[in-house]
Chains A and B, each alone.
Chain A
Amino acid sequence: EAQVTQNPRYLITVTGKKLTVTCSQNMNHEYMSWYRQDPGLGLRQIYYSMNVEVTDKGDVPEGYKVSRKEKRNFPLILESPSPNQTSLYFCASSPSGKRPQYFGPGTRLLVL
């Protein structure tokens, strides 16, 4: 089944404790992206990747890192999480940056 998977689906952590949210797609898509969803703000893009080893900032990249070492994986790294990063995170992929994206199921993160 073609899908985008994210792990974990739920995570509670404390301020400053590094964490990684994994994202994997099995559709051989070149493009991958991370978003956060917050009430009243909709979805905001954090980072995107047009292909392996090619990443670029979205609208809200501060406090996040990404890497794209292989085509199928695009992990989101929070080196020192803070409470304002409490949010619902979505990973997405697409055959290219010009095509509609397939979204994962989301990861709900709470930073205490």
Chain B
Amino acid sequence: DQQVKQNSPSLSVQEGRISILNCDYTNSMFDYFLWYKKYPAEGPTFLISISSIKDKNEDGRFTVFLNKSAKHLSLHIVPSQPGDSAVYFCAARASGTSYGKLTFGQGTILTVHP
């Protein structure tokens, strides 16, 4: 039972254009969402997060949008750069006593072409 789903295994974008990575979740108890980026042969690194009390969070070129009614979040990268090519994972955490438990999606491979 995949509670966090990234339905696009890969995305290819031209440098300078917008990259939009999507993530859907099923557990209504999730209240905090994160995006991680992973390069080959390295561990994931934290990119940006959003709490369920917000619907948007921005950090430089990265913006995360949360649509609670649709149980959907997206990561926008503008403008995309070749160095953004990596695997992107979304993750979600529930409130309450199990907030240490983190559920990840399957990942989306982003390729940004020069």
CB–CB A56/B43 < 8 A: no
Distance (whole angstroms) from the CB of A13 to the closest CB of chain B: 21
CB–CB B46/A31 < 8 A: no
A13-43 CB mask vs B (1 if < 8 Å, else 0) is: 0000000000000000001010100001111
Give the complex CA separation of A56 and B97 in angstroms: 11
Question: How many residues belonging to A are interface residues under a CB distance threshold of 8 Å?
Answer: 26
Q: A42-B89, A98-B99 given as contacts; is B43 within 8 A of A103 (CB)?
A: yes
Distance (whole angstroms) from the CB of B72 to the closest CB of chain A: 17
CB–CB B104/A100 < 8 A: no
CB-CB nearest in chain B for A97: B100
Secondary structure type dominating chain A contacts: strand
CB–CB B42/A105 < 8 A: yes
Within 8 A of B (CB), among A31-89: 31, 33, 35, 40-45, 48, 50, 56, 58-59
Give the complex CA separation of A43 and B51 in angstroms: 21
Give the complex CA separation of A104 and B44 in angstroms: 8
CB–CB B43/A104 < 8 A: yes
Residues of B within 8 A of A (CB): 4, 6, 9, 32, 34, 36, 41-46, 49, 89, 91, 93, 98-107
